Amino acid sequence: MLTMAQSLERASRLPSISAVLTQALEEMNKPEADISRLATLLARDQGALARLLRVANSAFYGLSGHVSSLSQAVTLIGLPTTRTLVTAAAIIDRFPQRAGGAFNYQGFWQHSLGVAAASRYLAPRVGVNPETAFLGGMLHDIGIAVLGCCLEEEYRAVLDRVHAEDCATTEAELTVLGFTHDELGAALAEQWKFPLAIQEAIRSHHALNIQATPLVRVVHVANVLAVTLDIGDIEGSFVPPVDPASWAAFGFNEPELAGVLEAIDIQAQSALAVLHEVN
């Protein structure tokens, strides 16, 4: 089996994200809205634009089939969300989809988008920027995507272990690989120059400590809610333990919880349109 450094080296064979994504991220960090820059960016990534329009045309926004340009999409869903969705599409497109492998590509990205939507919903409750939260959720399991897309043999061995033991993925990874997808994902996020807060959310979304940042808490609880809602499919998944301090931070009361789940489910279904076939 490969070491984590060797695994990361494999990930570096993925198509470069630097061009589109780095710029999209820079744009995202600017306070002022700049649609023309985004348009220039998207002219170089037609796949991302097509995916964005799928979302704008999803039932969630109620204008099925009538959004055909970037400016219309921005008017409808707002610039911050537009930028985030473009980034999400650009990330997904960096990972090749192979037929016949052990990795459930669609199921994986559905789960990631579900956690992203849940993170965006939860973020304002603890003072986190919703779009940063969306990206944190989108990327939280990026280490699994690296295993699934770049390290077929290792990924298959982890899956076998998950099935044999009915254990958590991270537990199987530690036994089989000696490192977890959290660590691998955080290392990749560092290499891809994602903000430190996002690297931390990837690294710590399973193992929280008392100093966990609000973003870590958001992604941790969002992951629990997305699995509860059965959005996407990670092999052998189960609703994981919830960190009580993080849960308490959101101040849910039981009567409102069904409504929270419904709201997240609706937003997630809209975000899933990013994954639809782009013709």
Partner 1 sequence: MTKSIELDLAAAQVGMVLAHDVVNATGQTLAAAGMVVTESLLEGLRKREIERLTVCPLVDASAEAAALTERLEYLFRKAEADPIRATLRRALEQYRRGGNRAC
Of 22, 75, 129, 228, the residue at the interface with partner 1 (CB under 8 A) is 228
CB of 242 to partner 1, least distance (A): 5
Shorter beta-carbon distance to partner 1: residue 52 or 234: 234
CB of 210 to partner 1, least distance (A): 18
What does the per-residue mask of binding to partner 1 show for 67-86, with x meaning CB under 8 A? --------------------
Are 20 and 192 contacting, i.e. CB atoms less than 8 angstroms apart?
no
The number of residues that bind partner 1 (CB under 8 A) is: 29
**Which residue type is seen at 56?**
A
| Cβ atoms within 10 Å, residue 198 | 25
Please tell me the distance from the alpha carbon of residue 55 to that of residue 49, in angstroms, as a whole number: 10
59 binds partner 1 (CB under 8 A): yes
Q: What is the largest CA-CA distance in the chain?
A: 52
CB of 197 to partner 1, least distance (A): 25
CB of 229 to partner 1, least distance (A): 7
Which tokens in the block code for residue 15?
């198509």
Burial (CB < 10 A; 0-12, 13-18, 19+), residue 75, is middle
What does the per-residue mask of binding to partner 1 show for 195-224, with x meaning CB under 8 A? -----------------------------x
CB of 220 to partner 1, least distance (A): 12
CB of 54 to partner 1, least distance (A): 11
What's the sign of the alpha-carbon dihedral 186, 189, 191, 194?
A: negative
Are 182 and 204 contacting, i.e. CB atoms less than 8 angstroms apart?
yes
Of 36, 64, 68, 69, the residue at the interface with partner 1 (CB under 8 A) is 64
247 binds partner 1 (CB under 8 A): yes
254 binds partner 1 (CB under 8 A): yes
Shorter beta-carbon distance to partner 1: residue 152 or 252: 252
278 binds partner 1 (CB under 8 A): no
126 binds partner 1 (CB under 8 A): no
Are 229 and 79 contacting, i.e. CB atoms less than 8 angstroms apart?
no
What's the sign of the alpha-carbon dihedral 113, 43, 148, 58?
A: positive
Residue with tokens 């911050």: 80
| 193 φψ region: left (φ > 0), alpha (ψ -120 to 50), beta (else) | left
Of 227, 233, 245, 251, the residue at the interface with partner 1 (CB under 8 A) is 227
Q: What is residue 20's DSSP assignment?
A: I
Residues that bind partner 1 (CB under 8 A): 59, 62-66, 224-225, 227-230, 237-242, 244, 247, 254, 257-262, 265, 269
